[in-house]
Structure 1
Amino acid sequence: MSGCLMAGALAIALGPGQDFALTWTHSVEKIGWHESWELTPQGLQLTGAAVRGSGAGMEPGPDARLVDGWLVWEPQLPPIPELVLAASGATGDGWRLCGTECVTLAARAGQPVILKPCPGSSARP
């Protein structure tokens, strides 16, 4: 069974291995951030993170290493059932989610988007 995510009424097909990426620009520091996620039977699993620098609220993980100008690390967090994305409106962009295709979510302040596995997706037991 293929995997997908629901973002409100939008269904987003996931890439090979049921993975997806989230990218955004930090609203205060104006620095790029990237996270890699995977849809698992236990929920949404953060598998990697990278940031172009550090600053207010942007501390890299303790095992971060510098790779091509990015501080890269592998967070050790448990899977979560859903992920709430909210934009401040201060960056002009929202969250960019890429599965098999890319979409921009939560681009306007005050319009959070909840990401969760699609009904019947392989993330369900």
Structure 2
Amino acid sequence: MIGLCLGLAGAVWASLPVPAFTLAWSHTVEKIRWEEDYRVTAEGLLLGEARVRGSGAGMEIPDGAVLEGGSWHYRRQLPPLQPLRLGRTPEAGDYQLCFDGACHPLGEWLGPPRAERPAVELWSCVQ
């Protein structure tokens, strides 16, 4: 079974048996929530729809986005991401992984963001 691995440079810190998830976070300055939906495939993480609740410093709404229910919805055409690298520092707060109807901070599996470990990677892996 293919699932989601979390770690860095190929070292697995945690793995989750999920076929899909939403990655969510708040912009560090504007405090506006962003969400990206991913499917976990053998080729990597496939980005589906993404949403953002507004614009601001460095947060332009992408061309073709549609305002629905208070969020701008859009799609980007990207190849499978393998890995998806995220910056993760105490100052920026934590990302959330949402699946099975609930959102969980990455800290639930990795501990809180730490300055000495400022990044994490997500990739598809065999469970």
For the criterion TM > 0.5, the same-fold answer is yes
Q: What's the counterpart of residue 12 of structure 1?
A: 16
The alignment partner of 2:81 has SS state of coil
Asked if residue 108 in structure 1 is aligned to residue 113 in structure 2, the reply is yes
Q: 1: distance between equivalents of 2:83 and 2:21?
A: 14
TM-score by length of 1: 0.79
Q: 1: distance between equivalents of 2:3 and 2:99?
A: 8
Whether the 8 Å contact between 1:25 and 1:33 is mirrored in structure 2 is yes
Shift of 1:102: 4.1
How many pairs are equivalent? 115
Flag structure 2 segments of 5+ consecutive residues without an equivalent: 8-12
Q: 2: distance between equivalents of 1:83 and 1:58?
A: 20
Flag structure 1 segments of 5+ consecutive residues without an equivalent: none
Whether the 8 Å contact between 1:60 and 1:72 is mirrored in structure 2 is no
Matches within 5 A, 1:1-125: 1=1, 3-8=2-7, 9-14=13-18, 18-91=19-92, 93-100=93-100, 102-105=103-106, 107-110=112-115, 111=117, 112-118=119-125, 120=126
Q: 2: distance between equivalents of 1:57 and 1:13?
A: 34
Identity over the aligned pairs, expressed in percent? 37
Q: Which moved more, 1:97-106 or 1:28-37?
A: 97-106
The CA RMSD measured in Å over matched residues stands at 2.0
Shift of 1:70: 0.3
Q: 2: distance between equivalents of 1:109 and 1:60?
A: 30
Q: Which amino acid aligns with 2:124?
A: P
Q: 2: distance between equivalents of 1:60 and 1:74?
A: 11
Q: 2: distance between equivalents of 1:115 and 1:62?
A: 27
Q: 2: distance between equivalents of 1:57 and 1:88?
A: 19
